Every structure is written in C-alpha cells, then in structure tokens.
Chain A
C-alpha cells in the first residue's frame, strides 16, 4: 500500500484521506494538509480506514489539527479509523479526545 494524502471537498466538508503508513518520513506533509483544510473550511475530517500504521509524529499532526480547530470553533473529527490507528490512539489515551465517526456521512452529520 503506497502512502497517500488527498484532500476532497464534499459540500462544506473537507475530508483528508490518508493511506499507507504514517511515519516521520511524511507526517509533516499530513500536518500541512490538515492545517490547509482547516484554513479552507470550518468542517474537517481525516479519513483513516486505509492507514495500516501511524507513529507519534502522525498522532502529533492529528492533535495539532484538533487543537487548531477547537481554538477557532471549527469541527474536526476522525473518520473510519482503522484497527491499527485505534490501537495507537488508545495507547496515547486520545481515543476519547477525538470525535470519531464510522463513515463520512456520520461525520458530515456531525
């Protein structure tokens, strides 16, 4: 599975789709994509069903996105979180900090 980070706009919602293994080699790219999405709209979700691995630098990018959104009253959530990602979120005790949605429809409904 190749690493990929693509942003799509669905109505007033921007979804940042991640694929592959999020690690130090490109977590900065992920971070920039999330911050750019938050700059473009008030509702952002990070879709992670195809993410097979995430390290602490990837988690840091997600945390930064959440804090950024909160400070401006924006919506920020994680969508379709894979088992691998959930395990790391639980380890970091962040599984109850992020709004987590099973799919895009649920995320858009907020």
Chain B
C-alpha cells in the first residue's frame, strides 16, 4: 500500500497532469509529454497509447516512449493485452509476461526487448473505450502491483477525457466544413436555375429544396425561332447524388431541346441518352414544352411528371403524363399536348408540392393544390406564385418542391384611378372615403359593391392608423387605386415601423365581441390581400384586389 507520501505524490502528479491536459490547445504536443510523465511516474521502462480508429475499427499505437518504437502498430480489438483491455473495457495486469498466454510476444521476438510485466487500462468515455494506455516493466526489475494499476487507471481518466474532447471538436469542425460545402453546392445549384426575366415574360419558376441541395430543377430558354422552351424535372431519390445527377440531367435536357425539337421527340432523345448514363435504379421525371407568345400556343410532353394543371375561367383541367420517366427503358415514344393558352394559367408542380401536408394531416394532393391556387387567383402571376410558395412553406415539405408557371402577362398597363396621400389621422378618413366613392363611381362600379370596397379600404386605413402608426400622427398614408382590365387594385403605403403580417389579429365573423372586425371585413370584401414591407425596407404596403364582373357589380361575397 502506498504510504502518505506516495499518496501526496500521486495527487500532485494527477493535478499537474489534469491541468496540462485541460489547458492544452494542441493534444498532439501535450499527449507525448503526458505519456512521458506517466511512464516516469509509474517508473515504467516503456509506455504506449493506443486509439481505436473509428473507420477501420483497429486499435493503433499513436504514441510511445521507451526503447522500442511501436507507433503505427495495429491490433484487432480483443487481440493481446491491449485488445482485451479495449474489448472488455477492463484493466489488464500481467505480472509475468513470459508465462502469460495473453501476451503477444511477437514484438519481443522482433526487437529483442524483454517484456516482463504489464499494466494496461482502457481509455473510457461515455460511449465506451476509445483506446488504452499501457506501461511495461517496472524500472529496476520489480513487478507491477495492483496499486500501480489503480494509479494508472486514475491518470488514464483525464487523458481519455482530453482525447475525447479533442475528437468532438474535430468532428464539430468537420461538420462545419461539410455545412459550408453543402451551402456552396446549394448556391451553385441555384445558379444553374435560369434567372428571372424582367419585363413581360410568361414563365416564372420557384424551387424550394427540402434540404441544402435539391434534386428538382427547372429551366427556360429562347429558341432560334422566337419560341420559348421550358423544362421542369425531378430526380428520383434525395441527397447529394440526386443533386449531382440533377446538374447532369438539367444540361442534358437543355442540350437536347436547344434546336426546338418537338417535345415528344425531345423527351425520346433525352430518354435514350439517360438510359445510357443513369445508374441502375435512378430515373428522372420531367416535363418539357414550348410556348409561342405570338399565337399563345403551348405544346408539352411529360415523362412521368405529376399532372400539369390548367386554370381557366371555368376551373381546372389536368393533364396526365404522356409516358414513363426518363432513364428506365430506351426507345420510348412519347405523345404530346397542344393547347392555346390565352389568358389561362398552366402550372407544373413537382411531387414535393403534391406531397406537402399540414401537420398531422394527409398530403394535400392535386385537390389541395387547386384549392390553394383558387385562393390566390386574383393576384398577378408573380405575387400569386409567391403566395403559393408562402402557403407551401407553412406546410411540412418532405421533398424538394418546384413550381413552374406559364401565363401570358397581362397586356395593358394598369390605369391609375386615384393617387391620394393623406395624413394618418382618423378625421381624414371621411374625405378619403368620399374621393374613393367618386373614383369608383366613375368606373361604373355599382353602389353596393362601391360601399363594400370603401368599407374595406377604410378598415385598412383605420388599422394602419391604430396599429402601425399607433394613433393619429402627421405621417402620410398613400392610397392608390389602379385598374387593369377588370381587376381593381388598392394599395396603401405607410411609413410606419414594419408590421409582422403573422401578428395581425383576426377572428371569425360571427364571433360576437367588440373589436377585431377590420381584417375579417377586408378578407370578406376583397378577393385577396397581402401585407409586405415597403420598398427599400421602410414602411408597409398593403395590397388588396377585387375583380369586377361584367355588369360592374359583383355577387354577394359574405
């Protein structure tokens, strides 16, 4: 048994060792020093540190002190003293190595070193042993005792802790590196998608990756004859290899469609090419088409892509796929669809949208998508697509989600009917209502609808004064009324601090209590409304729209 002096010496040593390991910023320098000190403290002729390689599962000598260098020596878990210490997570003591069957005497035979006595303790962590420390031969020829094993166990604990911490830090750094690389991959993928065209362009697409990277894509490009070609696709599977494949397939589809080949032949060509290049089990759902702005004709063909949805004044039509996905069987013949778009809207959704679900409910399916589109019909194509994506984002998206919308932009520029700035004061509202009534009367809007629209605008102004400006003030609200064909658009701009649309309180009509009626009124009276931050990030813009029917009035909308 160690006497008091030994114990103090052990405690001092341990304190020093823990401190050295704890303060270490670089274990590659600290650990060799620590191992040397352990060998000295244990009065051992040699000491070595073995770590389990998480990849190979072998135990490898990473450090050693003593006459024989065994760094790099690899052992199986369970093999020899060290292998046993790790496998059983228990201390191994060998008092006479030459007669102990557990001892691997191969190293001795190769080096001439004579192993007499060994202690080996596992480096234990919460997730099991990560390696072992071994000391060999007490200097001066004595044997190691049980007490020596206890001491080595004590010094092994802080070493295991330090090594484990360093590993965690390394894996954290590795995770951050992977995240940075994925982020870069995501941005590069985004760059592959076509830039949104300014001005009047009939195609808009949006891609929402479910994870960092996406297996979905869309594309559009001008053909030599003036038509516009478009593509939307979805690679089977998710993750990195789907994303890499997406890059290849996107360029394949662009290449095979650049000469304006009819969609059916275009798909057939891309299919044959895909069959040669895609790996076993991979396939691509894609839809390709061409649009002619001159006569509004569109022709498209679908290889296993979810149904295209056409929305017109009567409702929806859907078009099922014209053949199987690309990359499964060569020499497939696809059919194609031809229609005149006119003022209608043609939607292409990848199955991520169809599979979207509200928490705990079934997937929304094509029906849900139609309802969603119908809710935003009043909006112009771009805000409508943004509103759809906004709806989808509020759901659970398990898969990449992509939407491509084909619709001829509306012709005539909006006509400005009223542009009225006024101070944000309640007593101004009467004048605002009178001016708005006048402007609506001039458009031939019937009195019933006129009064409803005036009420909605008044409620919106009231909310801006009360909730955005927090009371009467001399800052300005600008009311702008425009008309584009049969669509009336009301825009209210303020300079108040940004309002979070999610925090706007509302309630059901029919819930009888004072207050909170403004937003339900607006919702009931207008076809749609949305609140956005003002341009250059200051203030808010509230947009409300109402479609006029041919007789100037409207159906009752309560």
Chain A residues packing against B (C-beta within 8 Å): 21, 23-26, 53, 55-57, 59-61, 63-64, 67, 84, 87-88, 90-94, 97
Contact = CB atoms under 8 A, between A and B. Distances in A.
B458 A23 contact: yes
Contacts, number: 69
B433 interface: yes
B455 interface: yes
B513 A56 contact: no
A46 to B, nearest CB: 14
B427 A25 contact: yes
B462 A23 contact: yes
B514 A55 contact: no
Interface in B409-467: 425-427, 429-430, 433, 448, 451-452, 454-455, 458-459, 462, 465-466
A91 B462 contact: no
A48 to B, nearest CB: 15
Contacts of A67: 512-514
A24 B466 CA distance: 9
Interface string B488-529: 000000000000000000000110111101101100110000
Given A23-B429, A25-B430, A92 B451 contact: no
Contacts of B514: 59-61, 63-64, 67
A16 to B, nearest CB: 16
Contacts of B430: 21, 23, 25
B441 to A, nearest CB: 15
A91 B525 contact: yes
B558 interface: yes
A92 B517 contact: yes
Contacts of B448: 87
Interface of B: 425-427, 429-430, 433, 448, 451-452, 454-455, 458-459, 462, 465-466, 509-510, 512-515, 517-518, 520-521, 524-525, 558
Nearest to A98: B512
B146 to A, nearest CB: 85
Contact of B452 (A59, A87, A97): A87
Contacts of B455: 53, 55, 88, 91
A93 B429 contact: no
12 contacts: A23-B426, A23-B433, A25-B425, A56-B521, A59-B514, A60-B514, A60-B515, A60-B517, A61-B514, A67-B514, A87-B452, A91-B521
A83 B448 CA distance: 10
A97 B520 CA distance: 18
A61 to B, nearest CB: 7
Contacts of A88: 455
A58 B514 CA distance: 9
A87 B448 CA distance: 9
Contacts of B512: 63, 67, 94, 97
**Which of A24, A67, A84, A92 has most B Cβ within 10 Å?**
A24
A60 B516 CA distance: 9
A21 B451 contact: no
A63 B462 contact: no
Chain A to chain B: the 6 pairs with minimum beta-carbon distance, closest first: A56-B517, A25-B426, A60-B514, A24-B426, A63-B514, A25-B427
